[in-house]
Chain A
Amino acid sequence: MTSHTLPTDTIVKKPNFETQRFEGRALQSYILSTITIVMAVSACLPLFSVIIMLLYRGGKRFSMEVLYALPPTAFETGGGFGNAIIGTLFMVGLAAAISVPFGILAAIFLAELGPYKKISQICRFCAKTLTGLPSILAGVFSYAAVVLVMGHYSAWAGGIALSLLMIPIVMLTAEEALKMVPKSMKEAAYGMGCTPAQAMMKVLLPVAMPGILTGVFLAVARAAGETAPLLFTALFSEYWLQVNDPTASLAVLIYNYSGSPFENQIELAWCASLVLVVLVFILNIASRALGQRKK
């Protein structure tokens, strides 16, 4: 009955993890882990590089003047991008004014009124497809549907192009937020004799509001940074905002001036990037803070 007695050395000998690390399977695991760590860290490098360059090159040029002055002409010094800030705010505001009610109302239908209806499934599918719509095609559409109809480039066309990009984000995040509301709260509202509309307005929407705002902030942040759809809907302008004329925006200003041969305009492009990235990051962090509080 030799098989029943264990060889004593396996019990006594403890595995030495320090040397095991350099043998066979453990070595493979060790090497792969190192590679993964290096890859993960190097993936963060572009972010740090961008931020450092923005602070260095954009921060150098930053002054209060850039926030309210008009863009300089080619050989001028100084100047700023006050009109681009106003233009961005106007167009993003317009896009939000269209997409927020649109997205939330559709999300209410998707989450509460008819989640399993055929139309909801098609709508959800269309919204997800719209999320993948290249931003430039939103611009092409807005050009065909608004610019060609109105006969001129305008801030309206730019805002409508941006709203196309915001609608699916707002809709899908709002739907998720509404689904997170505990069922018992809704049932309590109905039990009190609320109509569906009252239950939505007085109970569901207020409870889901942080989640919905997360989506709205994310969508606004994305729209504020979009350039492609504005290239041929809002174009660019060196003057203050006039809604029926070409309108300046921060993103298009960066694009236009990045190819400029004039040092002053390149500096302004960096400075505008800094302002834009700060704006986008604030919106992102705000949305994240709201999302965290929800849990």
Chain B
Amino acid sequence: MDSQKELPMKWGESYATPPSFRDRLFDKAFRGMAYIFTTLTIVLLAYILFEIGGKAIPAMQKYGLNLLVSTQWDVNQNIFGILPEIWGTLYSALFALVVGGVFGVAIAIFLTQDFLPHKIEIVLKNIIEMLAAIPSVVYGLWGIFVLIPIIRPFANFLHAYFGWVPFFGTELSGPGLFPGALVLSIMILPTVAAVSQDAFRAIPYKTKEAVYGMGATRWEAILRVMLPTASGGIFGALVLGFGRALGETMALAMLVGNSNQISLSLFSPANTLAALLALNFPEAGTTEVEVLMFAAIVLLVITLVVNVVGQLIINYSQPGGAKR
């Protein structure tokens, strides 16, 4: 071997040595650091809960659960209530879940059930994922100047002819729950689509062959076999999308109208917890900050519960998923 000639070694000498002291020290330090940062992740989550919770304690003592059920918000008189925000958060997220969920699952079916040649599938998948890459503030800007002018005539038409339906009870005068929630559904669509696609891809190929072998049409196969088999993963995807919709801030802060009211109407202005925080934090006084911290802890608890549930569903519904 050539390489052996180049090495000026005498017989019996060797480059193989046990790790030197420095090597062992470095190894210890390296492993220690890895361990520390792993622990730190856990500490970090606990610290986040502790910081936000700790800052909310004064407001909890002062207002207690009243804050959660009161609807007034008057900074000058120190009257605070976040019920309209809780309502708006859940309402907008539910709307986004329905729209984004239906579209997301439809796309997942479209991209996994051999409708398209593989190459086009990948292109379309990337396009959908690009939707998620656009920052929410850009969606907000787009919503103000493009989306609202487009949907306003449509919304006012619905109000004029179907005003008796509670969902169309008011006119859309500009920002409102509907444009906000619509953008929200665009933003959760990629999440739902991606996770549901994983669920569909996890179905063994033989299942599909067996179903088609029995003479099922494409949609009989999808509706009776694929969807039920993937339902656990899809359900998890929907819950994760719901969690994202609950916490999304900018699109709603810019489009939802920031009005402290509870209304079933889709077209009336509303508010959400995240938007409330974004809009009121920068100019808040001491008491208001405490109240906002309370609102933050409410939002944190809601989103944590939803996310944990979604994660658990996905972990236990996929074969081999529970191990990770």
Contacts and interface: CB of A to CB of B under 8 A. Distances in A.
A248 to B, nearest CB: 14
B157 interface: no
Given A33-B219, A54-B138, A284 B248 contact: no
Nearest to A233: B281
Given A37-B115, A47-B127, A137-B247, A108 B34 contact: yes
Contacts of A83: none
A224 B133 CA distance: 10
A37 B18 CA distance: 64
Contacts of B186: 46
Interface in B32-49: 33-42, 44-45, 47-48
Contacts of B324: 124
Mostly helix, strand, loop or mixed at chain A's interface? Answer: helix
Contacts of B247: 132-137
Nearest to B130: A47
A232 B186 CA distance: 26
Q: State which size class the interface on A falls in.
A: 35 or more
Contacts of B244: 132
Given A25-B220, A29-B218, A129-B45, A40 B106 contact: yes
A126 B110 contact: no
A49 interface: yes
B304 A119 contact: no
Contacts of A281: 130, 133
A197 interface: yes
Nearest to B18: A193
B80 interface: no
A152 interface: no
Interface of B: 16, 18-19, 23-24, 26-27, 29-31, 33-42, 44-45, 47-48, 51-52, 54-55, 102-103, 106-107, 109-111, 115, 124, 126-131, 133-142, 144-146, 186, 189, 217-220, 222, 240, 243-244, 246-250, 253-254, 274, 277-278, 281-282, 292-293, 296, 299-300, 303-304, 306-308, 310-311, 324
23 contacts: A26-B217, A36-B115, A40-B111, A46-B131, A53-B142, A54-B138, A105-B36, A122-B42, A127-B41, A132-B306, A132-B307, A133-B48, A133-B300, A193-B18, A197-B23, A225-B133, A227-B249, A231-B282, A232-B282, A251-B250, A255-B250, A277-B135, A280-B134
Interface of A: 25-26, 28-29, 32-33, 35-37, 39-40, 42-44, 46-47, 49-50, 53-54, 57, 101-102, 105-106, 108-110, 113-114, 119-120, 122-137, 139-141, 143-145, 164, 167-168, 171, 193, 195-198, 200-201, 221, 224-228, 231-232, 235, 251, 254-255, 258-259, 266, 269-270, 273, 276-277, 280-281, 284, 288
